[in-house]
């Protein structure tokens, strides 16, 4: 016996559904992607977050994986939604698991994030969706963006992967 699909599949593919799980005080960790995008000059694309958690902070474009969506497809989609550019995904550079607790010690946010590196393929970066701003940053200028330690490590690891490719 087969289980009926929640939505019919698009021609030639599987259905995808937007994530509807609660981001704040989730019942389980949420799966997300982050992408360190490099242009031809070796600058990395950064976004200033427009929404919690970490609103106002600089980091990598990314977001939640939709149900039925492959990780690489989610990575490409999120970069396009936030920055209006097309990318070629190079590979996975790491994972991290941000967990934030409220003042009472309850888990307010819990994500499992798979980080990729990518090359810019097409487009001019501009803030869209939940990005308040975007910037191309040289590796030597990263300190000015006050990246979270995990994000800084991902950018550095991604730069090494991009440089070696």
Say if 50 falls within a structural domain: yes
Say if 62 falls within a structural domain: yes
Both tokens assigned to 30 = 């949420």
What global pTM score does this model have?
0.84
Say if 19 falls within a structural domain: no
Say if 58 falls within a structural domain: yes
Both tokens assigned to 27 = 């019942």
Kindly report the CATH number assigned to the domain that includes residue 41.
Answer: 3.90.79.10
Instruction: Report CA-CA distances (Å) from 53 to 40, 59, 88, 100, 161.
Output: 31, 12, 27, 9, 28
Say if 53 falls within a structural domain: yes
- Judged by average pLDDT, the poorest of 8-12, 131-135, 136-140 is 8-12
Say if 8 falls within a structural domain: no
- Domain with 128, as residue range(s), is 30-164
**Which regions of the chain does DSSP assign to beta strands (E)?**
30-38, 44-49, 58-59, 62-64, 86-96, 99-101, 107-122, 131-137
Residue 156 has pLDDT above 80, yes or no: yes
Say if 23 falls within a structural domain: no
Q: Region 7-22: what's the mean pLDDT? A: 54
Rounded to whole angstroms, the Cα distance separating 147 from 120 reads 21
Residue ranges in 15-84 assigned as alpha helix (H): 71-83
How many structural domains comprise the chain? 1
Cβ-Cβ contacts under 8 Å for 141 (sequence gap 6 or more): none
Mean pLDDT of the chain: 90
Say if 5 falls within a structural domain: no
């Amino acid at each position: 016996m087969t289980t009926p699909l929640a939505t019919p599949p698009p021609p030639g593919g599987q259905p995808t559904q937007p994530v509807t799980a609660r981001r704040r005080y989730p019942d389980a960790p949420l799966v997300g992607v982050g992408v360190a995008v490099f242009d031809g000059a070796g600058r990395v694309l950064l976004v200033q977050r427009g929404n919690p958690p970490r609103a106002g902070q600089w980091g990598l474009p990314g977001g939640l994986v939709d149900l039925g969506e492959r990780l690489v497809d989610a990575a490409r989609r999120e970069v396009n939604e936030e920055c209006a550019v097309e990318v070629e995904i190079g590979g996975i550079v790491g994972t991290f698991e941000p967990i934030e607790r409220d003042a009472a010690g309850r888990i307010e946010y819990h994500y499992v994030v798979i980080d990729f590196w990518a090359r810019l393929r097409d487009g001019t970066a501009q803030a869209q969706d939940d990005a308040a701003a975007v910037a191309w940053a040289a590796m030597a200028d990263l300190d000015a963006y006050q990246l979270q330690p995990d994000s800084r490590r991902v950018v550095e690891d991604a730069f090494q992967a991009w440089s070696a490719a």
